[in-house]
Structure 1
Amino acid sequence: MVEFRVVEGPEAFDAAVRALGDGEGPIAVDAERASGFRYSQRAYLIQMYRRGAGTFLFDPPTIPDFSPLQGVIADEEWVLHAASQDLACLREVGLDPSHIFDTELGARLLGMPRVGLASVVEELLGIKLAKEHSAADWSTRPLPDSWLTYAALDVELLVDVRDRLGERLAEASKAEIATQEFDAVLHKDAKPPAAEPWRRLSGLHSIRHARNLAVARALWIARDSHASQIDVAPGRLVPDASLVAAAKALPRTKRALADLREFTGRASRSEIDRWWAAIEEGLATDDLPALRVPSDAPPPPRGWASRHPDADARLRLAKAAVGEVAEQMDMPVENLLTPDHLRRLAWRPPADASSAGIRDALAKLGARPWQLDATAQIIADAFVKAAQSVEDASAEAS
């Protein structure tokens, strides 16, 4: 039976801080959010485990200041599984590690076929973890005992997993690679806010006219504003598909909107005045959105062969070469080199397409030193072959 202490309020918090400070070795950390239920991505439970200290489940809404805990553990190694998913909500409460070990990423670098926590624990430790509460509403209070036990198990075995992965990474000569990757995750810049976040509306690509887009935009903004105010996930009010259906139909009266069969959701009728006001705004505005947004990203590669044969040849040959290296290194190709980096490089190669020029271009895109060592030369060679193949094809055609 897993043992843990739920930390609610200042007295329990101070005791937990002292215990974790007196523990030894890395600290396993996890966080539970209420994605799909709440608008915010805040942590509603933070779990920590350290050898010699035990397992603690912190209830963030009852703890006004995490800085004493941060002061005690900031310089220790934190062990997280899929760290990129939790770092933002941890930082939101003032918890920010100086270095990490990401067990999911470590498993990927080792080429493990399944990298979910339950699968990794089973393969490395021979223990089966139940994952029945992974999609629960963690903003629920009080939290059921079964949920708390599940949350505790997520960190109780994490340090053991870290040790086994560390051994395997060292045996595979991938310890330095892992260190660079963990550091990249830790220091990755947060994405800047989208200029037009409403364009993330699922199904928006099916709308073909600016007026319909204006209605979709107004509906999205109205839903987002209301969802933020009441801290409910927007899709639980009215799903994306319903907003898109209303934007396509362009109902001319509130009754027509209410009668629209595709306009569903728990707030589709109770907030009908809100949605109708948004539709009226979209129908009346002179500020019509552009149908297409300029982007510096390359066009989809499926059209390169006929329109841009040189870029197609570069991508095709370089992709095959990088795939071979990934297979030799026994890791997913996307971990060897971000696919978007290779697409951008093939679409617009540097003026200096030598190995040094490729290294510089990839470094500017964010590739790590070990990735440059593994791929720069083979990409440069592939680009040379691509240029020759295009030249030979042109000569044959003439």
Structure 2
Amino acid sequence: MKLNSVTLIENQHDFSKFILDLENSAHVAIDTESNSFYAYFNRICLIQVSTEEQDYIIDPFSVGDIKALGEVLSSPDIEKIFHAAPNDIAGLKRDFKFLVNNVFDTSIAAKMLGYKQLGLAPILLEYFGISLDKKWQRYDWGRRPLRDEQIEYARFDTHFLIPLRHKLVAELTEKDLFDTAREAFEKLCVQQFAEKQFRPGDFLHIYGAQSLDIVGKRILKALYLFREKEARRRDRAPFRILTNETLLRLALQRPKSVQDFSKIKGIPRVYLTSRAAVQLLELIRKNEEQEDEVFVN
């Protein structure tokens, strides 16, 4: 299959021309890339859009004002094609206050047709014989500048969605499932998406936490709260501050000195310096010595 050209949108002038193209399109494929694997405050860092003739990569950091895209997304006259739409729709609403109407979700359609592997890669392999490169799947899309190979990778998340949609519509229609699918798509447009809330008591969901004694649980909770505070302050994913496994090891081994930290698997280098280590050591010491039972809310 011949590839469309790909255009990186980084300014208002190019963005305006891009919007004109979308307004003249019956079908528009959409995907987003975020930095949730790296940042505490998850945000959309890249928006991929394809029409029948063109692939676009929008850099929302550079363009700035992209509210005109919201008007396209909410238009009932232009069908928006996603693969596994809920996360994308939720992110677009969270970050830009966009509402999406007239949706076709290729993942839902494939599921209704009986496919077991619902990821985009196996579906594209089935329909087009295309193998997607997963090299940049866990990339921090908040980083700049974007490299050519990253732009090329990102375009493939939407490039095939319109022709895939046409094939799926034909199968759904043949099996008399199209109306059922359309009802499912309409529910996506009105579904409420709630942001995951931090709950202090969730430290007990860490694997191995239930086997700790009362002192260990008290220490684990204190470390869990410390990690949350640090993750918010540094805008980093909590596991990049300290993993759950490391929190549990600290609660079990209860280091008494900076030297003890070097013996605990998974401790980041920053916590091997005296200042950072002393902070954690004091936290562990205080919770080891107090007599109150652990409080779970």
Q: Residue 199 of structure 1 aligns with which residue?
A: 203
Pairing partner for 1:232 from 230, 233, 236:
236
User: What secondary structure sits across from 1:27 in the alignment?
Assistant: strand
| 2:144 is the alignment partner of 1:141 | yes
Contact 2:214–2:293 (CA<8 Å) still a contact in 1?
no
In structure 1, how many angstroms separate the alpha carbons of the residues matched to 2:113 and 2:224? Answer: 42
Q: CA deviation at 1:287?
A: 6.4
Post-superposition offset of 1:281: 4.9
SS in 1 for 2:130: coil
User: Which structure would you say has the larger RCO, counting Cα contacts within 8 Å and 6 or more residues apart?
Assistant: 2
Structure 1 residue 181 displacement after superposition: 2.4
User: Which runs of 4 or more aligned residues in structure 1 lie more than 4 Å from their structure 2 counterparts after TM superposition?
Assistant: none
Is the 1:211–1:282 Cα contact (8 Å) retained in structure 2?
A: yes
Q: What CA deviation, in whole Å up to 9, does each residue of 1:107-164 have, x standing for no partner? A: 1111113222122122223333333322222122111111101111211111111111
CA distance in 2, matches of 1:244, 1:157: 44
Q: 1:261 aligns with which of 255, 261, 264?
A: 264
Deviation at 1:7, TM superposition (A): 1.2
TM-superposed deviation, 1:256 = 6.4
How many Å separate the matches in 2 of 1:153 and 1:2? 10
2:190 maps to amino acid: H
Match of 1:78 in 2: 80
Q: Is 1:214 equivalent to 2:218 in the alignment?
A: yes
Q: Is the 8 A contact 1:79 1:100 kept in 2?
A: yes
Q: 1:277-356 residue pairs with structure 2 within 5 A?
A: 277-283=282-288, 284=290, 286=292, 288-290=294-296
Shift of 1:289: 2.1
1:236 deviates by 2.1
Could you say what secondary structure the match of 1:61 adopts?
helix
Q: Does 2:194 match 1:188?
A: no
Determine the C-alpha separation between the residues in 1 that align with 2:84 and 2:91.
13
Distance 1:49 1:285 in 2: 61
Q: Using the alignment, how far apart are the partners of 1:173 and 1:194 within structure 2?
A: 44
Distance in 1 between residues matched to 2:294 and 2:65, nearest whole Å: 45
For 1:81, the aligned partner's letter is H
Whole-Å separation in 2 of the counterparts to 1:268 and 1:127: 45
Figure out how many residues of one structure are paired with residues of the other and give that number: 288
Question: What RMSD in Å do the two structures reach over aligned CA positions?
Answer: 2.5
Q: Which residue does 1:36 correspond to in 2?
A: 37
Q: 1:62 aligned to 2:67?
A: no
**Following the alignment from structure 1 to structure 2, what is the Cα–Cα distance between the partners of residues 73 and 125?**
27
Contact 1:238 1:266 survives alignment (8 Å):
no
> TM-score normalized by structure 2?
0.86
Q: Decide whether the 8 Å contact of 1:213 with 1:289 is kept in 2.
A: no
Report the identity percentage.
Answer: 24
Partners of 1:118 and 1:200 in 2: how far apart? 36
Aligned partner of 1:95 among 84, 95, 98:
98
Q: Per-residue deviation at 1:259?
A: 4.4
Aligned to 2:86, what secondary structure does the other structure show?
helix
1:77 to partner: Cα distance:
2.2
User: Helix, strand or coil: the match of 1:44?
Assistant: strand
Q: Deviations over 1:60-107 (max 9, x none)?
A: 222333212212331232111111232222221233312311111211
AA partner of residue 55 (structure 1): D
What is the Cα deviation at residue 195 of structure 1? 3.6
CA positional deviation for 1:206: 4.0
What TM-score, normalized by structure 1, do the two folds share? 0.65
Query: Secondary structure of the equivalent of 1:268?
Result: helix
Secondary structure of the residue that 1:267 maps to in structure 2?
A: helix
CA pair 66-35 structure 1, distance change in 2 beyond 3 A: same
Q: 1:314 corresponds to which residue?
A: none
SS of the equivalent of 2:116 reads coil
In structure 2, relative to structure 1, the CA distance for the partners of 1:266 and 1:46 (3 Å cut) is: farther
Deviations 1:31-88 (A, max 9, x none): 1122322223211111011235x22111122233321221233123211111123222
CA distance change for structure 1 residues 117 and 167 in 2, over 3 Å: closer, same or farther? same
| Structure 2 unmatched runs, 5+ | none
Q: For residues 325-350 of structure 1, what are the alpha-carbon distances to aligned partners after superposition, in whole Å with 9 as ceiling and x for unaligned? A: xxxxxxxxxxxxxxxxxxxxxxxxxx
Contact 1:223 1:237 in 2 (8 A): yes
User: Which residue of structure 2 aligns with residue 375 of structure 1?
Assistant: none
What's the secondary structure of 1:4's corresponding residue?
strand
User: Rg larger in 1 or in 2?
Assistant: 1
Change (3 A) 1:160 1:276: same
- Letter paired with 1:289: F
Distance 2:283 2:11 in 1: 43
Give CA-to-partner distance per residue, 1:174-203, whole Å, 9 cap, x none: 222222322333433324625436437532
Find the partner of 1:16 among 11, 15, 18.
18
Aligned match of 2:5 = 3
Q: Which residue of 2 aligns with 1:248?
A: 252
SS at match of 1:79: strand
